[in-house]
Chain A
Amino acid sequence: MNAQFWLIQSFNGISYGALLFLLASGLSLIFGVMRIVNLAHGAYFLLGGYVALSVIWTTGSWLLALPVAALAIAAVGLVMERVFLRPLGFDPLRQVLLTVGFAFVFQQAALDIWGGDNLDINPPDLLRGSLVIGGLYLPAYRIFMICMAGVMGLILWLVMEKTRMGAMIRAAVDDSEMARGVGINTSRVSMFIFALGAFLAALGGAIGGAFLGIYPGLDFEILPIAFAVVIIGGMGSLTGAALGSLIVGLADNFGRALFPEVSYFTLYAPMVLILAVKPTGLFGRE
């Protein structure tokens, strides 16, 4: 019985972490390459969920909804970076505030278009049941989330390690000035990273919609958690984002189950400590 509690909670934590990975890996790359604290990232997540919902309403296809939502929001992110963030140059405060301005506009747009109700995405029947493994009932959807995060993580890893773009991104994370110096077009890298981050966040929103629900306010609720992942894992590092997601997912889940009264505190206090002691995060590169 006791062992079962731990197993189930661990499984829940890992699956939540998988969702967080989708949201936070892009945020981490944006932060690593551009040093931008993107407060509109939660809005991408929320909008991704809403767009997926609209696609499902019009076409009835859940499978189509995921890529359409992710691509649509990637376009939004691309425009935001190109038209508004680029002209600002490097000024962390103004960049942050600009992303907040957009977060507010997106919030209002979502409210106008999709209303204020708590909506749900219904996954296909195949994913609604649960699997029984070793006497444990595991919801199929949570398994799907873990697989999805695994696949995306693998693709990202291949892109980062095996392609030219990936090498350019890694160079920009390590030393953006030097990268520019050797002729890397960091402006194009930034554009790609921002769109990729929006793509991943929206994909997370479309997948998470069936799990968390979609409602106004979700954007600013999930955003600090994504930052916790980025900080704990270390910015600009995929491995860090994966480990950070796992840690935060587990900490959040066990925090809620074991000491609910201080559960969020147990999430953010370690984040403060890590920032104070090692600002590049546990697995970030120096």
Chain B
Amino acid sequence: MKSRRGLLTVIGLLLALLIITPFASSYVIVLITYALVFAILAMSLDILLGYTGLPSLGQAAYLGMGAYLTAILATQYDFGLGWSFWVVILLGILVGALTAAFFGLFAIRATGVYFLMITLALGQCVWGLAYRWNSVTGGDNGINLPPRPEFGIDLANDVTYFYVVFGCFVVSLLTLYILVKSPFGRSLEGIREREPRMRILGYNTWLHKYIAFVIAGGYGGLAGVLWAHLSGLVSPGDVLLTTSVDALLMVVLGGPGTLVGGAIGAAVIVFLRDYLSTMLPWWQYVLGGVYVLTILYLPGGLMGIPERIRHRRARSASQGETKKLKSASH
């Protein structure tokens, strides 16, 4: 019952977004598209952080792989600028997943703080290559992309591109939702709660975590392809530690282990960062303050607020009842 209401709310919000966005100003449309791309990245990280209990500090690496692949194919091979855009999307997912498959071999063994550190180091490896390998990545300047693909419909139009990104977002949300509700997703949650017990029950926890890591990498790659065409410039700044940290904060702010929470967190942070920054010169204090307050007072993130309110209401209601009982007994 509760989950059905939640599902209907999500569908309603998505429909509203789909209908309202095209009427917004072009700046807001780009901003929403930007938020959707990062929502995909945040949801991919939520599979690791929220469902498997693996806090990765290197999720930007997969975004970077997807984005650089797109940029290099487009500028050096003229590939992916027509119908082949869809091939590039598949390749982006593939390169993200393959990178994660390679990185996972090193990272999955580590736990807790060490997992944070090793994913940080892996992310820095990708950043180092992006920053220094001039002949391939253009170094500090990055790569400027040609105009967006055109195949009958012209993606250079921001509204059209919004529809494409929106479609990718919905497909990602749906597939990830199916994933986390599947037996596989359930066993991931089991690993998050108590890994030794899952191991005793006969689950190959390493393999479960590894597969989750690879899947998360694939969605990260998808976000990268979409990001490359959205921004029109791929640079080492996209792969920086701060991007990975942002993704982590989006998940924590929205509420880990909820998928939708990551999307909400992405929307909030993108708007704080890009909208607020045009109005308030001191926007970063707000951002930092939001982080600190969320972590101190909202461990369940924004998605945890309704639960907390319900909890408090139930508690005060039961307190009221005991009071009544006490006064009646007197």
Residues of B close to A39: CB separation below 8 A = 245
Q: Does A261 contact B (CB under 8 A)?
A: yes
Other-chain contact of B282, A94, A112, A271 (Cβ < 8 Å): A112
Q: Does A272 contact B (CB under 8 A)?
A: yes
A35 to B132, CA, bound (A): 32
A279 to B57, CA, bound (A): 17
Interface contact A265-B118, CB-CB below 8 Å: no
Q: Does B305 contact A (CB under 8 A)?
A: no
Residues of A close to B27: CB separation below 8 A = none
A265 to B121, CA, bound (A): 10
Given A227-B121, A275-B114, A97 and B128 touching (CB < 8 A)? Answer: no
Q: Mark A89-121, 1 if CB is under 8 A from B, else 0.
A: 000111011101110110111011000000000
Given A97-B291, A108-B288, A87 and B296 touching (CB < 8 A)? Answer: yes
Q: Mark B103-141, 1 if CB is under 8 A from A, else 0.
A: 000110110111011101110110111011111000000
Residues of B close to A96: CB separation below 8 A = 55, 57, 116, 248
Q: Does A207 contact B (CB under 8 A)?
A: no
Interface contact B132-A276, CB-CB below 8 Å: no
**Residue of A whose beta carbon sits closest to that of B293:** A101
- Which A residues from 253 to 286 make CB contacts under 8 A with B? 260-265, 267-269, 271-273, 275-276, 279
Given A265-B125, A272-B121, A101 and B299 touching (CB < 8 A)? Answer: no
Q: Does A88 contact B (CB under 8 A)?
A: yes
Residues of B close to A264: CB separation below 8 A = 124-125, 127-129, 131-132
Q: Does B285 contact A (CB under 8 A)?
A: yes
Interface contact B121-A228, CB-CB below 8 Å: yes
A35 to B120, CA, bound (A): 16
Q: Does A211 contact B (CB under 8 A)?
A: no
Closest Cβ of chain A to B288, distance in Å, is 4
Of the candidates A35, A92, A227, A264, the one having the most CB atoms from chain B within 10 angstroms of its own CB is: A264
Interface contact B288-A92, CB-CB below 8 Å: no
Residues of B close to A265: CB separation below 8 A = 125, 128-129, 132
Closest Cβ of chain B to A267, distance in Å, is 7
Other-chain contact of A100, B113, B118, B245, B284 (Cβ < 8 Å): B245
Q: Does A37 contact B (CB under 8 A)?
A: yes
Residues of A close to B114: CB separation below 8 A = 275, 279
Of the candidates A228, A265, A267, the one having the most CB atoms from chain B within 10 angstroms of its own CB is: A265
Tally of A-B Cβ pairs under 8 angstroms? 130
Residues of A close to B89: CB separation below 8 A = none
Residues of B close to A262: CB separation below 8 A = 128-129, 132-133
Interface contact A227-B117, CB-CB below 8 Å: yes
Of the candidates A39, A224, A260, the one having the most CB atoms from chain B within 10 angstroms of its own CB is: A224
Main secondary structure of the interface of A (DSSP, over half): helix
- Which A residues from 191 to 241 make CB contacts under 8 A with B? 220, 223-224, 227-228, 231
Given A264-B127, A272-B106, A276-B110, A97 and B252 touching (CB < 8 A)? Answer: yes
Closest Cβ of chain B to A225, distance in Å, is 9
Interface contact B292-A84, CB-CB below 8 Å: yes
Q: Does B289 contact A (CB under 8 A)?
A: yes
Q: Does B242 contact A (CB under 8 A)?
A: yes
Q: Does B170 contact A (CB under 8 A)?
A: no
Other-chain contact of B125, A88, A101, A269 (Cβ < 8 Å): A269
A224 to B242, CA, bound (A): 11
Q: Mark B278-311, 1 if CB is under 8 A from A, else 0.
A: 0000101101110110011001000000000000
Residues of B close to A273: CB separation below 8 A = 106
A37 to B116, CA, bound (A): 8
Q: Does B81 contact A (CB under 8 A)?
A: no
Interface contact B245-A279, CB-CB below 8 Å: no
**Residue of A whose beta carbon sits closest to that of B246:** A100
Interface contact A98-B135, CB-CB below 8 Å: no
Between-chain CB contacts (< 8 Å), 26 pairs: A37-B116, A37-B117, A92-B55, A92-B113, A93-B55, A93-B116, A94-B252, A97-B249, A97-B295, A98-B292, A107-B284, A108-B284, A112-B282, A227-B120, A227-B121, A231-B121, A260-B132, A261-B134, A263-B128, A264-B127, A264-B131, A265-B125, A268-B124, A268-B125, A275-B110, A275-B121
Q: Which residues of A contact B (CB under 8 A)?
A: 31, 35, 37, 39, 84, 87-88, 92-94, 96-98, 100-102, 104-105, 107-109, 111-112, 220, 223-224, 227-228, 231, 260-265, 267-269, 271-273, 275-276, 279
Not counting A228-B121, A264-B128, A275-B110, a sample of 11 additional A-B residue pairs whose C-beta atoms are within 8 angstroms of each other reads A37-B117, A92-B55, A93-B116, A105-B284, A108-B285, A220-B240, A220-B241, A265-B128, A267-B124, A269-B125, A279-B110
